[in-house]
Copies of this chain bind each other. A is one copy, B any other.
């Protein structure tokens, strides 16, 4: 398939780009810094140099699936802006867009969202905005009926690391065998490529966890 990864040089994007290439897909890295992409993936890499906000339906149309792995942790409101910009462009397209969301919108076993737990923690002022915007991002997606979207959440800890075996969930916090909620970028990438090849969560959200 013809796949593009927005933010391909970030932690998640790099793992997804490499997993897609490993499986023989025709992959394009959409990045702001071409040199960084060529350094990461080799000089024969297909690169589309663009800021996420300059991507249009016309530039996105050639791809069967685009994965949005853009993430700005310093200015998390830009993650929301990028999502709404892409939704607007994709209203004109039938092809598929997969958004990497945060874990804050996942439900805990208590019936409470992970975000509601995080929002009550003292000293969260410096980092609570990112999960807050992530919760809103999923609400916006769920209200979006004329875009072929899928959301994918990592688990509470989203860490560098290769594929080591994973499982898929729907809307829940999942605990690995060590009792904690985490997923590596490599496992996320495998979960996302499986979903690209065998769609199961169209206009829905799923999550990937380490074993």
Q: A146 is contacted by which of B77, B133, B139 (Cβ under 8 Å)?
A: B77
**How many residues of A sit at the interface, in one of the four size bands?**
10 to 19
Query: Which residues of chain B are near A136, meaning CB under 8 Å?
Result: 139-140, 143
CA A143 to CA B136, docked complex, whole Å: 9
Nearest to A88 among chain B residues (CB) is B81
Interface flags for A69-99 (1: CB within 8 Å of B; 0: not) read 0000000010011001101100100000000
Distance, CA A77 to CA B143, complexed state (A)? 9
CB contact list, A129-175 vs B, under 8 A: 132-133, 136, 139-140, 143-144, 146
B contact residues around A87 at 8 Å (CB): 81
CA distance A108 to B176 in the complex (A): 45
CB distance from A174 to the nearest CB of B (A): 27
CA distance A160 to B87 in the complex (A): 33
Contact of A143 among B88, B133, B143 (CB under 8 A): B133
> Is A53 interfacial (CB 8 A cutoff)?
yes
Closest Cβ of chain B to A133, distance in Å, is: 7
Q: In chain B, what residue has the closest Cβ to A83? A: B84
Q: Distance (Å) between the CB of A118 and the closest chain B CB?
A: 15
Q: Tell me how far the C-beta of A135 lies from the nearest C-beta in chain B, rounded to whole angstroms.
A: 9
Q: Which residue from B84, B85, B139 sits with its C-beta under 8 Å from A139?
A: B139
Complex Cα spacing A88 to B144, Å: 19
For the complex, give the distance between the alpha carbons of A77 and B140 in Å.
10
**Chain A contacts to B: CB under 8 angstroms:** 53, 77, 80-81, 84-85, 87-88, 91, 132-133, 136, 139-140, 143-144, 146
23 contacts between A and B (CB under 8 A): A53-B88, A77-B91, A77-B144, A77-B146, A80-B84, A80-B140, A80-B143, A81-B84, A81-B87, A81-B88, A81-B91, A84-B84, A84-B85, A84-B88, A85-B85, A85-B88, A132-B143, A133-B143, A136-B139, A136-B140, A136-B143, A139-B139, A140-B140
